[in-house]
Structure 1
Amino acid sequence: MRLTAGTDSRLGATWDGRGTNFALFSANAHKVELCLFDAQGRRELERIELPERTEDVWHGYLNDVSPGQLYGYRVHGPYDPDRGHRFNAHKLLLDPYAKRLNGRLVWSEAHFAYRTGSPREDLSFDRRDNARGMPKVVVVDETVGSGRRETRPGVRWEDTIVYEAHVKGLTQLRDDVPPGLRGTFGGLACPTMIAHLKRLGVTTIELLPVQGFVDDRVLVEKKLVNYWGYNTISFFAPEARYAPDKDNPLDSFRTTVARLHDAGIEVLLDVVYNHTAEGNHLGPTLSFRGIDNASYYWLKPDNPRYYDDFTGCGNSMNLTHPRVLQMVMDSLRYWVEVCHVDGFRFDLATTLARGSNGFDRNSGFFTAIRQDPILAGVKLVAEPWDLGMGGYQVGAFPSQWSEWNDRYRSVMRRYWSGEGSLIGEVSRRMTGSSDMFNRDGRMPRASINHVTVHDGFTLADLFSYERKHNVANGEDNRDGSNDNHSINCGVEGPTDDPKLLGMRRQLRKNQLACLFLAQGVPLLLAGDEVGNSQAGNNNAYCQDNEIGWVGWDGTNTEDDMVEFVGLMTDIRRRFPQLRSRRWLDGRRADGSYGVLWLTPSAAEMTDQDWAFPDGRFLAYVLSPSEPGGSAIFIVLNSGVQEIEFHLPKLPEYQTWKELFDTTKNTVQVATLGCGNPMIAPPRSVLAFSGTTE
């Protein structure tokens, strides 16, 4: 028999060497049809009703279907938006477990389950077939390459230094990357790019979304694209636009991961499980909405026609449903087991842990992650907020998680832009933010410190623009944050004034120094090391052009801070107390200490000193965390005046050696006596190591 019942045990299309089993979850469907297409995906060859339903999984086995076959689904059921159901069998749908997509989405009115333009809006019904403009799912042979051995770098959390990058944007403008590899997975792992990452001293590259996504219709109509990729439609398939070989994006991605691993560099993926590309109630029907809208999404309890939108993207995935949670977990395991990635950064992670009463620290998602043996050894990073009620949850995630610390970003921007009376909060952020994360056995690595990320100004723009300049996005400059804590140093945008350029470089250098001196895990935005600018655009999500790509023009110029970043990562390795596993304490009963906060005269600070009006000077000593180690003395002066200070007099040390001064281009190798007076130049960071010489 050609068609048999098959099994419900594994969702998706599974080829076993003889034939292919198809299985699709839908709790509310009445019938599921498998649609097979020709090799070009243009002509539907036949429709086959899946013969069996087991625990809401529709399944069937075809013994003549092999890898390379293109397919999609048509799902029959009620079209009743007022009850949360949006089935429309005229719409070809993507398998949520698709491992590879063929073709791209070509926008038309046929992708909407309702009649666009109807006064009844989504309560109307559309009978047009959308298959012609839909990508098709490809049956793949998952055994190819799955048995190969993979040696992971295994970087400890406390040693991690993250480099956030966009696959295309990182290499598109690099002349030393072969033209055929620029902007692709292959470009990430070419020798010159790996050499650059090694010079920086980063251990881990975090990639903006690479799971299959589509360009929003509104952007396409403006001749723009969803460049960042936070518009996922396929949680298992690598995005084909990044593959040099468009016919095999999975192998392209796996090869890149392997080469980065060979260089000792980890790979984290930015994943978007909080929403999908289907948008709100007026959005298209591409997959989940037409398969089982009421199961996959959060719907308003009192009016299920509409979505609970915690994400600002029109819909929110409902991980309290066991099959939706299963899909997310299966997806995460797939990227770890098959693609060998080292961890994940979860976009708007608060949404994933929402229950009927809001964010739940004991949610099924957290429980599933915690007990999963495949995911137990990978790095988990949360963007710990969403846009819903109670969505800001920084510090509230479980102990195995690390979190983006936007409090670090905010206060360090304010401090180096010249705002006073912040030294108390700066001290907490520079020492791991224990006020936020010191609970439930968490360690300083819980805090992912960053000043800039993909969303917002670059580091160069942070000190070149006081206002966003997002006109190119086509939204009349309404999009993007207005709360940037940025300064232009006197001129908005580019300038030839050497004094202003020097000030901007100095402030960038200070931010970089603090980032790598702070306890917690530093995250560096790609391009910040060479002064990359987005021309003041702080929301370049749709700019697949020189605005959004990293510009390397600053390489080998005064804007090139690659060597400085390398110096800072080296200092971070040399002084383990900068990457401590333990929280700091001050002066202990036996006279020892973890951190000493000092006045300019090198006296220990009192409550009155912390309340110094408009204070901008902060100095402290971190004691060594390992036997035989050296203390490090750090001085921050964000003021516009130089400040005299004294090197600490500590019985353990006879002298101090300067490690760096951000106002100098070279390190002055000098041995300085304890108690010596020194000058902290305006807007400067200095560091010294204690010696017994």
Structure 2
Amino acid sequence: MRLSAGTPSRLGASWDGRGTNFALFSANAQRVELCLFDNQGRRELERIRLPERSEDVWHGYLNDVAPGQLYGYRVYGPYEPEHGHRFNPNKLLLDPYAKRLAGRLVWSDAHFGYRTGSAREDLSFDRRDNARGMPKAVVVDETFNWGRREIRPNIPWEDTIIYEAHVKGLTQKRDDIPPNLRGTYGGLSSPVMIDHLKRLGVTTIELLPIHGFVDDRMLVEKKLVNYWGYNTLSFFAPEPRYSQDNPLDAFRTTVARLHDAGIEVMLDVVYNHTAEGNHLGPTLSFRGIDNASYYWLMPDNPRYYDDFTGCGSSVNLTHPRVLQMVMDSLRYWVEVCHVDGFRFDLATTLARGPNGFERNSSFLTAVRQDPVLATVKLVAEPWDLGLGGYQVGGFPSQWSEWNDRYRSAMRRYWSGEGSLIGEVSSRMTGSSDLFNHSGRTQRASVNHITVHDGFTLSDLFSYNEKHNEANGEDNRDGSSDNLSNNCGHEGPTDDPAVVAMRRQLRKNQLACVLLAQGLPLILAGDEVGNSQGGNNNAYCQDNEIGWVGWEGLNQEGDDLTDFIGHMIGLRKQFSQLRSHRWLDGRRPDGSYGVLWLTPSADEMKESDWNFPEGRFLAYVLGPMEQGQAPIFIVLNAAPEEIEFTLPKMTEYASWKQLLNTTESQQKTTDFASGAETKAPPRSVLVFAGSA
């Protein structure tokens, strides 16, 4: 092979049609060797010392190295954990810019840079070669035929309805999908799945992590896995376990087909930590390439990691090259894979500086000015486990955020807790107390009642206690504060009254998520009554517990697919529900954004908001434009029916009922303006004004 200097300008392995340029960042290394492997990844064919170093990038160009070549790195430098350096050339390291992975991690003590079991722990040094059990990076050809007609959906923010799903779990139990596609990227875009998503009316599917990840050794020894995928090792490579052949092309084909159906694709991304864990974790990539650059280390003792994530370590985006890697990764998924947005796990960690969370951090500033990322949706999980980590409402205007304040308030409300109507009113109208600043609008709030982490919607009203015994941690893991309500019986039951109440409460929560201003998020499987048997932390359950159970599909009493479709239809019909202007009350000309009404249809006063144990909330959202109808929403979380009066408005002679969550089939009923009627116990009602 002919070796030349190549270029440091593009990190990773870049094939140009004649050969491949290899470039790796390491500020503290003394030497870098490129290791080439056979097609099976078992035999190391050659080690090539990268000949050049330019601004801390080690690089070289090899003629005749083509797509399909397997490779890794060995990086030489000081092994001084007490000074933050953990170089060990006995360990084969994965390229942080790997675009495709070959093989899976086979655990052994050789993956640790120190001698496991040594009294000196990580201060000892291990000389065993780990290459045989390491996944290898693969040189790729990034070209792909998207077709001349491939058009991204570009759903406006205010019209976005997110459906959170796991690639495998969504389709693994769908008997109407071919067996070879179940649990794969291809299964997501199968005709059956696309038809279901269209029937629901969702606009955007958000996938749990698909960046290449590994299974923790502890879990493997328990015969479990990192099912959710929050254990990233490669920020550029699609996880190969969801594909039978080329995962990059399989994923891009799925994106293209979903786009053809008008459905966006968002990725849940984990840049806050990696699979290498704490100071006693393995040396697989970043730790052995340049530990002191990639991770937050304790200032007074850099042997240890500053852990904001609860996963042992935190990625340090204040370092320019680490920030570059994350930005390059994001742009790669947009430009090469055509994804439409990202949900950032523990996003507060990404925006940390020396003094904690910073709204003008390097990461948030870089994102703000990036022309590629300006075209996609950005959603933050706005907290981490570090000091000052809870930052709901703290992100810049470009971002939306998961709003756990919505989740908590609505769980408490529909579980029967009183004296919440003030907070519920704010959560249903975009949470202005959290987001009405810095030019932000209601779309800043991503409203959800259930997500992957926690109870499913069915379990929320079937269990008062978590049941995580299958996780092998004696039921200690997962949250014990679920704000759930088992409706009088723990777990499954045939009691018709309990079954009916649970269905009713599921409908109420779904109705509220889709009536609330902001972005609705629905958890995959909630529409068909999917249960995890009370497990509220199914991160390691790649089995019947974690997979979506579709038994309730088309089954009366379980299937709420058409109900969700009806609610999304209402959301599309009434632009007030998708507003991007903060609401005001009665204006001088008599018009209004929102009117909060008592059961007697009088405008609420301060004393009405403080009504003891109040569980009834009613309000009118005014028309957004000329000729549009107002919409009247009634929430009754009380266990008894409550009499109320339809709003008395001279310009509207009647109110047409569009929703009553206690009815199995929605009936359209007209009520005269000012008429009296009753809200059934635990119900949501919607009416539209008619002239």
TM-score of the superposed pair, with normalisation by structure 2: 0.99
Measured in 2, the distance between the counterparts of 1:101 and 1:296 equals 21
User: Does 1:541 pair with 2:544?
Assistant: no
Equivalent positions of 1:168-317 (< 5 A) are: 168-245=168-245, 248-317=246-315
User: Are the equivalent residues in 2 in contact too, given 1:150–1:340 (CA < 8 A)?
Assistant: no
Mapped partners of 1:470, 1:154: distance in 2? 40
Mapping 1:335-484, distance limit 5 Å: 335-484=333-482
Q: In 1, distance between residues paired with 2:224 and 2:540?
A: 6
Question: In structure 2, the residue corresponding to 1:671 is in which secondary structure?
Answer: strand
Structure 1 residues 94-126: Cα deviation after superposition (integer angstroms, max 9, x where no partner) = 000000010000000000000000010000000
Aligned ranges 1:83-162 → 2 under 5 Å: 83-145=83-145, 150-162=150-162
SS at match of 1:461: helix
Structure 1 position 628, deviation (Å): 1.1
Please give the alpha-carbon distance, in whole angstroms, between the structure 1 residues aligned to 2:477 and 2:235.
Answer: 27
- Greater CA deviation, 234-243 or 136-145? 136-145
Q: What is the 5 A alignment of 1:61-80?
A: 61-80=61-80
Q: Once the 2 structures are TM-superposed, how far is the Cα of residue 147 of structure 1 from its aligned partner?
A: 8.7
Asked if the contact 2:465–2:480 (Cα under 8 Å) also holds between the matched residues in 1, the reply is: yes
Report deviation, 1:320.
Answer: 0.3
1:344-365 CA-to-partner distances (Å, cap 9, x unmatched) read 0000000000000000000111
The runs of at least 4 consecutive aligned structure 1 residues that moved more than 4 Å come to 146-149
Counterpart-to-counterpart distance in 1, 2:16 and 2:560: 53
In 2 relative to 1, CA 147–308 (structure 1 residues): closer, same or farther, beyond 3 Å? farther
Please list the CA deviations of residues 70-96 of structure 1 after superposition, one character each: whole Å capped at 9, or x if unmatched: 100000000000000000000000000
- Aligned amino acid, residue 125 of structure 2: F
CA–CA distance in structure 1, aligned partners of residues 473 and 405 of structure 2: 28
Say yes or no: does 1:319 pair with 2:317.
yes
Cα offset for 1:144?
4.1
Identity %: 79
Where does residue 602 of structure 2 map in the other structure?
Answer: 603
The secondary structure found in structure 1 opposite 2:366 is helix
2:584 corresponding residue in structure 1? 585
Shift of 1:624: 1.0
- How far apart in 2 are the matches of 1:674 and 1:15? 71
Comparing 200-209 and 366-375, the one that deviates more: 366-375
Shift of 1:64: 2.4
Asked if the contact 2:144/2:249 (under 8 Å) is kept, the reply is no
Residue 479 to residue 329, structure 1, CA distance change in 2 (3 Å): same
Letter in 2 for 1:572: R
Secondary structure of 1:409 counterpart = helix
What secondary structure does 1:304 align onto?
coil
Whether contact under 8 Å (1:421, 1:613) holds in the other structure is yes
For the residues of structure 1 that align with 2:8 and 2:636, how far apart are their CA atoms?
A: 64
Task: Flag the 1:146–1:576 CA change in 2: closer, same or farther, 3 A.
Answer: closer
- Alpha-carbon shift at residue 150 of structure 1 (Å): 3.2
Q: 1:131–1:355: structure 2 CA closer, same or farther, 3 Å change rule?
A: same
Secondary structure of 1:305's aligned partner: coil
Q: Which amino acid aligns with 1:73?
A: Y
CA contact (8 A) 1:212 1:233 kept: yes
Shift of 1:589: 1.9
3-state SS of paired residue (1:306): coil
1:447-526 equivalences under 5 Å are 447-526=445-524
2:51/2:58 contact within 8 Å kept: yes
Give yes or no for contact 1:84–1:299 (8 Å, CA) kept in 2: yes
**Structure 1: gaps spanning 5 or more residues:** none
How many Å apart are 1:421 and its aligned residue? 0.3
The one-letter amino acid of 2:133's match is G
SS of 1:259's partner is: helix
SS in 2 for 1:164: strand
Q: Secondary structure at the match of 1:602?
A: coil
| Residues 319, 146 of structure 1: alpha-carbon distance in 2 compared, 3 angstrom cutoff | farther
Task: For residues 275-326 of structure 1, give each alpha carbon's deviation from its aligned partner in whole angstroms, at most 9, with x where no partner exists.
Answer: 0000000000000000000000000000000000000001100000000000
Partner AA of 2:168 in structure 1 = K
2: CA distance between counterparts of 1:8 and 1:395? 39
Cα distance in 1 between the residues matched to 2:287 and 2:149: 38
Q: Please state how far the C-alpha of 1:146 moved relative to its aligned partner.
A: 7.4
Deviation at 1:669, TM superposition (A): 1.8
Q: 3-state SS of the aligned residue for 1:283?
A: coil
2:436 maps to amino acid: N
Secondary structure at the residue paired with 1:106?
A: coil
Aligned equivalents of 1:652 and 1:42: distance in 2? 78
484 and 502 in structure 1: CA distance in 2 versus 1, 3 angstrom threshold:
same
CA contact (8 A) 2:146 2:256 kept: no
Q: Which residue of 1 aligns with 2:19?
A: 19
What residue is the counterpart of 1:674 in the other structure?
A: 673
Matched, 1:659 2:658: yes
Tell me the secondary structure at the aligned position of residue 275 of structure 1.
coil
Matched residue, 2:633: 634
Contact 1:5 1:60 in 2 (8 A): yes
Partner Cα distance (1:134, 1:124) in 2:
22
Q: TM-score, normalised by structure 1?
A: 0.99
Q: Is the 8 A contact 1:576 1:626 kept in 2?
A: no
Distance 1:71 1:344 in 2: 29
Contact 1:30 1:76 (C-alpha < 8 Å) held by counterparts: yes
Is 2:150–2:260's contact at 8 Å kept on the other side of the alignment?
A: no
Distance 1:113 1:501 in 2: 55
Gaps of 5+ in 2: none
**Rounded Cα–Cα distance in structure 2 between residues aligned with 1:626 and 1:321:** 49
Kept after mapping to 1: 8 A contact 2:419/2:612:
yes
Change (3 A) 1:147 1:630: closer
Per-residue deviation, 1:4? 0.8
Tell me the CA shift for residue 592 of structure 1. 1.2
Question: What do the CA deviations read for 1:458-517 (whole angstroms, capped 9, x no partner)?
Answer: 000000000000000000000000110001111100001011000000000000110100
Tell me the SS of whatever aligns to 1:299.
Answer: coil
- Kindly indicate whether the alpha-carbon contact (under 8 Å) linking 1:657 and 1:670 is maintained by their aligned counterparts in 2: yes
SS at match of 1:398: coil
Q: Distance in 1 between matches of 2:134 and 2:668?
A: 64
Measured after TM superposition, the shift of residue 651 of structure 1 is 2.1
> Compared with structure 1, are the counterparts of its residues 146 and 179 closer, same or farther at alpha carbon in structure 2 (3 Å cutoff)?
closer
> Distance between the aligned counterparts of 1:147 and 1:141, measured in 2?
17
Quote the offset at 1:549 in angstroms: 0.3
| Corresponding position of 1:30 | 30
Q: SS at the partner of 2:104? A: coil
Residue-pair matches, total: 690
Contact persistence 1:185–1:244 (CA under 8 A): no
Does structure 2 retain, via aligned residues, the 8 Å contact 1:420–1:614? yes
Give, in angstroms, the shift of residue 179 of structure 1.
0.8
State the Cα RMSD in Å: 0.9
Quick one: distance in 1 between partners of 2:15 and 2:197? 39
Preserved CA contact (<8 Å) 1:94 1:287: yes
Partners of 1:166 and 1:55 in 2: how far apart?
40
Which sits farther off after the overlay, 154-163 or 551-560?
551-560
Residue 175 (structure 1) shift: 1.1
Retained in 2: the 8 A contact 1:161–1:521? yes
Q: Structure 2 CA distance, aligned partners of 1:144 and 1:66? A: 16
Deviations 1:112-160 (A, max 9, x none): 0000000100000000000000011111112344796631001000000
Decide whether aligned partners of structure 1 residues 122 and 147 sit closer, same or farther in structure 2, where only a CA change above 3 A counts: farther
Partner AA of 2:210 in structure 1: V
Q: Distance in 2 between matches of 1:242 and 1:203?
A: 23
In structure 2, distance between residues paired with 1:669 and 1:4 = 75
For the residues of structure 2 that align with 1:278 and 1:440, how far apart are their CA atoms? 38
1:181 maps to amino acid: L
